[in-house]
């Protein structure tokens, strides 16, 4: 048995354009470098990509972090299937 254990812990904080923390599952709108506004749900940051899912959670999409010009958290959006 070793007398000491060392582990590296890395924390990544993701914030929107208004400096609010984005958490997995948050509904967001991102504007990409092609001028498209995309409404989706934040999943994670992995391998240099901003990973999202569609609002229904069925399709995963990855965006290069540098391609996102703006990001805002959305409140009060209901997916019709949930109504």
pLDDT at 4 over 90: no
Average pLDDT of the chain is 90
Q: Which residue has the higher pLDDT, 73 or 9?
A: 73
19 falls within a domain: no
CA distance 61 to 65: 12
What pLDDT sits at residue 3?
77
Q: Over range 18-33, report the average pLDDT.
A: 95
37 falls within a domain: yes
What pLDDT sits at residue 1?
52
3 falls within a domain: no
46 falls within a domain: yes
Domain span holding position 65? 27-82
67 falls within a domain: yes
53 falls within a domain: yes
What pLDDT sits at residue 82?
58
User: How buried is 29 (Cβ within 10 angstroms: 0-12 exposed, 13-18 middle, 19+ buried)?
Assistant: middle
Q: What is the CATH number of the domain that holds 64?
A: 2.30.30
Q: How many domains does the chain have?
A: 1
pLDDT confidence band for 58 (50 / 70 / 90): very high
């Amino acid at each position: 048995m070793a007398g000491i254990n060392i582990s590296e812990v890395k924390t990544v904080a993701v914030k929107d354009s208004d400096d609010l923390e984005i958490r997995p599952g948050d509904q967001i709108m991102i504007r990409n470098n092609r001028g498209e506004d995309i409404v989706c749900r934040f999943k994670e940051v992995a391998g240099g990509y901003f990973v999202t899912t569609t609002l229904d959670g069925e399709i995963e999409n990855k965006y290069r972090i540098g391609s996102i010009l703006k990001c805002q958290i959305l409140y009060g959006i209901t997916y019709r299937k949930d109504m």
